[in-house]
Amino acid sequence: KAGVTQTPRYLIKTRGQQVTLSCSPISGHRSVSWYQQTPGQGLQFLFEYFSETQRNKGNFPGRFSGRQFSNSRSEMNVSTLELGDSALYLCASSQRRGATDTQYFGPGTRLTVL
């Protein structure tokens, strides 16, 4: 079974621009979670979607948003990019509806903001 895929793998943007990242979960998985990883803050939860509904959200500004499509694919968007948004953005998928399901990570998108 194919794993979680993320596109693009690398991205360079300038301050003030916006960016959209894409995530395709493992086949049959309906939950997608997004995380930001930086050297200073580590891995931090952004939000989670299940059946096109956002069920959980982390402590990030409104510039960070996401959505999920009916085929479980998910996108996240960051508007008005700041230098501090440079990070590895990871998505993870899980299979069941419950709150404690195992999450499997994709390879990540490395975003650099200049």
Partner 1 sequence: QKEVEQNSGPLSVPEGAIASLNCTYSDRGSQSFFWYRQYSGKSPELIMSIYSNGDKEDGRFTAQLNKASQYVSLLIRDSQPSDSATYLCAVTGGYNKLIFGAGTRLAVHP
Q: How far is the CB of 85 from partner 1 (least distance, A)?
A: 19
**Contacting range for partner 1; rule: CB under 8 A; set: 17-25, 60-68, 69-77, 86-94:** 86-94
Q: How far is the CB of 31 from partner 1 (least distance, A)?
A: 5
Report if residue 59 touches partner 1, rule: CB under 8 A: no
Task: Take residue 41 and report the two structure tokens written for it.
Answer: 């803050």
**Contacting range for partner 1; rule: CB under 8 A; set: 10-18, 20-28, 31-39, 65-73:** 31-39
Q: Considering only residues 24, 50, 72, 113, which one is a binding residue for partner 1 as defined by CB under 8 A? A: 50
